[in-house]
Amino acid sequence: MKYSPKIKPFISIFIPASILDEVPDPKQKAIKIGMIGRAAAIFRVEEIVIYPDKIGKNYEEKSEYIENMLRYLETPQYLRKRLFKLSKEFRYVGLLPPLATPHHPLKKKFDELRNGEIREGFVVKTLKGKALVDVGTEKLLPVVLKNTKISKGERVTIKIIKKNKRTLGVPVSKNEINIYWGFKITTAKEPLGTFFKKFHYDLVIATSRYGKLITDIYESIISDLARVDTVALLFGSPREGLHEILKRESKKLSDIADYIVNMIPGQGVRTVRTEEAIYASLTIINFLQFLCFKK
CA distance 237 to 52: 10
CA distance 82 to 155: 10
Q: In the predicted model, is pLDDT for residue 2 greater than 70?
A: no
What's residue 266's pLDDT? 87
- In tens, the pLDDT along 193-220 reads 999 999 999 999 999 999 999 999 999 9
E strand or H helix that includes residue 275: helix 274-294
Q: What is the mean pLDDT of residues 126-135?
A: 93
Least confident of 3-12, 75-84, 119-128, 239-248: 3-12
Helices (H) and strands (E) in the chain, counts: 7, 11
The per-residue DSSP string of 200-269 comes to --SEEEEEEEEEEEHHHHHHHHHHHHTT-SEEEEE---SS--HHHHHHTTT--GGGT-SEEEESSTT-SS
- In tens, the pLDDT along 32-68 reads 999 999 999 999 999 999 999 987 668 788 999 999 9
- In tens, the pLDDT along 78-114 reads 999 999 988 888 999 999 999 999 999 987 899 999 9
What's residue 57's pLDDT? 67
Q: Which domains, ranges and CATH numbers included, belong to the chain?
A: 10-100+191-294 (3.40.1280.10), 110-173 (2.40.50.140)
CA distance 162 to 246: 54
193 CB-near residues (< 8 Å, 6+ apart): 246, 249, 251, 255, 256
CA distance 295 to 289: 11
What's residue 107's pLDDT? 73
Q: Percent of the chain, pLDDT > 70?
A: 98
The per-residue DSSP string of 14-50 comes to EEEGGGGTT--SHHHHHHHHHHHHHHHHHTT--EEEE
What's residue 88's pLDDT? 85
Taking residue 125's Cβ as centre, other Cβ atoms within 10 Å add up to: 11
Give the residue among 295, 288, 209, 204 at the shortest CA–CA distance from 254: 204
Band (272; pLDDT cuts 50, 70, 90): confident
CA distance 249 to 92: 36
| Phi, psi at 174, each rounded to 5° | -65, -20
What's residue 294's pLDDT? 63
What's residue 5's pLDDT? 79
53 CB-near residues (< 8 Å, 6+ apart): 16, 17, 18, 59, 191, 192, 236, 237, 240, 245
In three-state secondary structure terms, 51 is strand
Taking residue 179's Cβ as centre, other Cβ atoms within 10 Å add up to: 14
What's residue 253's pLDDT? 96
Contact 2, 179 (CB under 8 A): no
What's residue 26's pLDDT? 92
What's residue 158's pLDDT? 96
- Beta strands 166-171 and 10-16, pairing class: unpaired
What's residue 270's pLDDT? 84
In three-state secondary structure terms, 136 is coil
What's residue 295's pLDDT? 54
Per the prediction, the chain carries an average pLDDT of: 93
